Amino acid sequence: MGVIKDRFKAKADIVAAEVKEILKEHGKKKIGEVTLSQVYQGMRGITGLVTETSLLDAQEGIRFRGYTIPELQQKLPKAAGGTEPLPEGLFYLMLVGDLPTEENVHHLTSVWQRRSHVPNYVFDTIEALPVSAHPMTQFVVAIMALQIESQFSKKYAAGLSKKDYWNVVFDDSMDLISRLPRIAAYIYRRKYKNGDHIQPNGLLDWSGNFAHMMGYEGEEFKELMRLYMTIHADHEGGNVSAHATHLVGSALSDPYLSFAAGMNGLAGPLHGLANQEVIKWIFEMREELKTDLPSKEQIGEYVKKTLAEGKVVPGYGHAVLRKTDPRFTAQAEFAKKHCPDDPIVQTVWNVYEVAPPILEGTGKIKNPWPNVDAHSGSLLKHYGLIEEDFYTVLFGVSRALGVLASLCWDRA
């Protein structure tokens, strides 16, 4: 751990000095005007915060430290025999600011393996909830139980110098990221597999081990998890989960408290729960139309019906993006390679052809194009992870990488 922590601190010290200099020189510079409607619409379009880890362009989509998703797929280290990036590499990039070597990534994998022990009382806390509780509720409760482990809160209570905040926030963030797959897999096996739990495999990477603990051993599914964990990790600072983690962290709430706040936001249907909503919407459509593969005409009618009922078409629209989400495209490419004939995948592609002009025709929806959630469920269903109310937990495990890397930057 020492190496990555030292490298992070060295980078953060340079940036802190630069920021100090910029503020001294240009601190009074005006960067925009604010209209009344922006204030009433939740600070829409106001540049109000800095996020170091990623940048979201309305036309182009997300860049992580300057790299697009296809670039990351090319440049980040992969698992042996794999073609998708290891999310350990993305975390290193977001944290340190440089592309990692294979060695850096293997180092992170083994650090996270070493720190992944989850105390029994966390499992007991999960067990105290009815099994019917939504997986996101179980996830947040487990994170809150794990907060007892926070080094930051213990050291702060004992008297911690401001200069050392970053150091303990860093340790807490690493511990939390290491433990999340075990917690999420426990919830999955508890809720859907009669509590038949699977022990971690210390030889696997973070996502591969997560897939294994959920009960999915296929190499293709593990590759999907590596891609999934990479593309859901971060989306600049304005989205609800990132903003909530940042905001709560600003009160010096420790990383467990801050991340739990972010996860409560991710659990909302207009944010991370949309991946569950998309699949629910597709299955309700299939049931109503009594077909596994609705025609484009039928889909068009169903989109119009959804709008007429005053509901949103899940998986479409975005507060910032104004084009097809590159995270949607990355998943479509994965599906083209591995499962182009799957009827749910084909339905997702047909919705993509039919829905945007109808949404655009309403004249009020600013972005008629699909976001990340429009595609993810179809791939999970294809590999047998059929329980859609679990999908947001997968999103949450991934989102920890970006928001906790950002929290380390905030404190440093």
Q: Footprint of ligand AMX on this chain (CB under 6 A)? A: 239, 270-272, 274, 307, 312-319, 364-367, 371-373
Distances in Å between the Cα of 118 and the Cα atoms of 113, 124, 186, 391 are: 11, 11, 10, 22
Residue with Cβ nearer ligand AMX (43 or 365)? 365
CB 390, min distance to ligand AMX, A = 16
**Dist CA 317 CA 325 (whole Å):** 10
Q: Look at the block and give the residue holding tokens 């917690």.
A: 183
Contact 260, 143 (CB under 8 A): yes
Nearest CB to ligand AMX, comparing residues 90 and 372: 372
Q: Give the residue with the Cβ less far from ligand AMX, 155 or 318.
A: 318
Task: Identify the active-site residue in 235, 318, 375, 382.
Answer: 318
Give the residue ranges of DSSP H helices in 27-60: 36-40
CB of residue 87 to ligand AMX, shortest distance in Å: 17
Q: How far is the CB of 323 from ligand AMX (least distance, A)?
A: 13
Does residue 254 have an active-site annotation? no
In whole angstroms, the minimum distance from the beta carbon of 319 to ligand AMX comes to 4
Q: CB of 388: closest distance to ligand AMX in angstroms?
A: 14
Question: 193 near 135, Cβ under 8 Å?
Answer: no
| Rounded CA Rg of the chain | 21
Nearer to ligand AMX, 317 or 377 (CB): 317
CB 187 within 8 A of CB 142: yes
What is the smallest separation between the CB atom of 98 and ligand AMX, expressed in angstroms?
A: 28
Catalytic residue among 205, 254, 325, 373: 373
8-state DSSP, 147:
G
Instruction: State the nearest-atom distance from the C-beta of 355 to ligand AMX, in Å.
Output: 8
DSSP conformation letters of 276-302: HHHHHHHHHHHHHHT-SS--HHHHHHH
Residues 6+ apart with CB under 8 A from 360: 368
Can you tell me the distance from the alpha carbon of 32 to that of 60, in angstroms, rounded to the nearest whole number? 22
104 closest CA partner among 207, 223, 220, 3: 3
Nearer to ligand AMX, 208 or 317 (CB): 317
- Catalytic residue status for 271: yes
List the end-to-end C-alpha distance of the chain, in Å, as a whole number: 17
Structure tokens at 388: 């859609």
Nearer to ligand AMX, 189 or 366 (CB): 366
Nearest one of 180, 197, 171 to 143, comparing CA atoms: 180
CB-CB contact of 81 with 219 (8 Å): yes
- 150 or 241: whose CB is closer to ligand AMX? 241
And the tokens for 194? Answer: 């009669």
Q: Is 235 a catalytic residue?
A: no
Q: Which residue in 271, 375, 382, 410 is the catalytic one? A: 271
Specify burial of residue 45 (Cβ count, 10 A radius: 0-12, 13-18, 19+): middle
Point out the residue whose Cβ comes nearest to ligand AMX: 317
Q: Active-site residues: which are they?
A: 271, 318, 373
